[in-house]
Amino acid sequence: MDLVLVLKSENFYKQSSSQCVERLTSYTMNKFSEYKLSKDCVTKIKCVLKVFVSKLLEKWKKSNWTMDRFMKSHSKWLMNDLVLPAVGTINSNKDLQAKKTRGRPAKSFEESSLRTKRRVMKALVSESSPELLCSAARASLTKSGKRTAAKLVSLALTTSPRRYKRMKNIHDTPSYSALKPYSPEEALALIIDSSMGKEDYIHWQKGAKSRGANIYPPYNVIAQTKRQCYPNNIKITETEVQIPVQDILDHTIQRLAHVQQDVLLLHHDHEKNSAIKVVYKWGLDGSGGHSIYKQCFANNSLYGDTNIILCTIVPLQMSEVTTSGTQIFWQNPSPSSSRYNRIIRLQIEKETKESVKHHYEANIQNIQGVSK
């Protein structure tokens, strides 16, 4: 009530809240002038007075800025005592001298060494029961806002030994819940294996991303990775697709080295500069009876899309011959599968004895011109 009367005499309703706080602080300091308050004590007193002024102005506003209504509506609140924080004060010069003791300054528990902490904890453990220590730890954690940690302390005290052991095993076991995203090469292989289209893949990616599993790379990254799988100098005409043998071999070796780079860096002896050998097989075959899509060729009498002749090359093994034996870096797991076929030539042409012989001789000539 005294604080309200002080503000009333100063017409607090015409002043700002900060001015009211300063006036009450000055009044409180005069009340405790016989004590030498520390800076920490003054700061805490200001905080309490700031809260008091805030509530006072709020109640003053609810009373429509009318003094009689304010005094009548909040008489009980005005009669309550304002509790100041219980902080240390220094009463005299003797107390100041007593505070300035000699020796090593005392440290808090957090700043103490591990040995000191063990000594303090040993004294607490010897004097208190486990239930008391756990209850005190739980109350302290709850007070500091760490409710989850407080719950764990409570469970450790009340749960059965078997459940506690299960909780400990879960904590000690590494978590494998972290999602492992697809690399662009893995995502491209997934699209090819599942015969997935662009729209289907984008639908999958958006669905997984909306559920917090951003594991699929963007499709433009996959398209760029797919372009890296194409060799150079691809020649396409109306009736033929042809890739020089030298270009298809160079590109195949580059891709194998990229896929097996970890194995090569680990096992290949770069100081000896030994050669790496890649073994291939090749062949050609014709097929007919394909669906006709009414393609218009320049010379319909010679060409028709019902028959094709295909020549491919397949990598079998990448290895290195050393004095200790053959070091294999890559082995084709399915030599007869069409997955590893590398097209040299695709020709729209009917398979005959003459056409097969012509393509065979042309491929032999191209292979013999390959540089090692």
Tens of pLDDT, residue by residue over 66-117, are 777 777 777 777 777 666 665 444 343 444 444 455 666 777 777 778 888 8
Q: In this structure, what are the phi and psi dihedrals at residue 341, rounded to the nearest 5 degrees?
A: -70, 135
Residue among 223, 228, 224 nearest 259 (CA): 228
Q: For the residues of 271-323, what is the DSSP string, one character each? A: TTTPPEEEEEEEEEEEE--PPP-----S-TTT--TT-EEEEEEEEEEEEEEET
User: Is residue 317 within 8 Å of 279, Cβ to Cβ?
Assistant: yes
Residue among 192, 203, 236 nearest 337 (CA): 192
**What residue ranges do the domains of the chain occupy?**
2-90, 114-171, 184-227, 235-368
Question: What percentage of residues in the chain have a pLDDT greater than 90?
Answer: 14
Strands (E), 179-226: none
Angle (CA) 216 218 221, round 5° = 115
Residue among 218, 222, 196 nearest 209 (CA): 218
pTM across the whole model = 0.48
Angle (CA) 236 233 368, round 5° = 105
pLDDT, one tens digit per residue, over 134-148 is 788 888 888 888 888
Contacts of 334 (CB under 8 A, 6+ apart): 340
Count of CB atoms within 10 A of residue 20's CB? 23
Output the pLDDT for position 337. 85
Count of CB atoms within 10 A of residue 201's CB? 19
Give me the helix-helix angle, 2-9 and 17-31, nearest 10°.
Answer: 120
Q: Is 326 helix (H, G, I), strand (E, B) or coil?
A: strand
Look up residue 204 and give its two tokens: 């999958």
Angstrom distances, CA of residue 61 to CA of 18, 74, 94, 277, 302:
17, 12, 48, 91, 100
Output the pLDDT for position 206. 92
Look up residue 338 and give its two tokens: 């069409």
d(CA 41, CA 18): 19
276 forms bridges with which residues in the sheet?
320
Task: Quote the DSSP letter at residue 260.
Answer: T
Q: In this structure, what are the phi and psi dihedrals at residue 111, rounded to the nearest 5 degrees?
A: -85, -10
For residue 314, count CB atoms less than 10 angstroms from its CB and return exposed for 0-12, middle for 13-18, buried for 19 or more: buried
Residue among 211, 222, 212 nearest 187 (CA): 222
Q: Which parts of the chain sit beneath pLDDT 50?
A: 87-99
Count of CB atoms within 10 A of residue 248's CB? 22
Output the pLDDT for position 219. 93
Angstrom distances, CA of residue 280 to CA of 87, 148, 297, 312:
87, 63, 35, 10
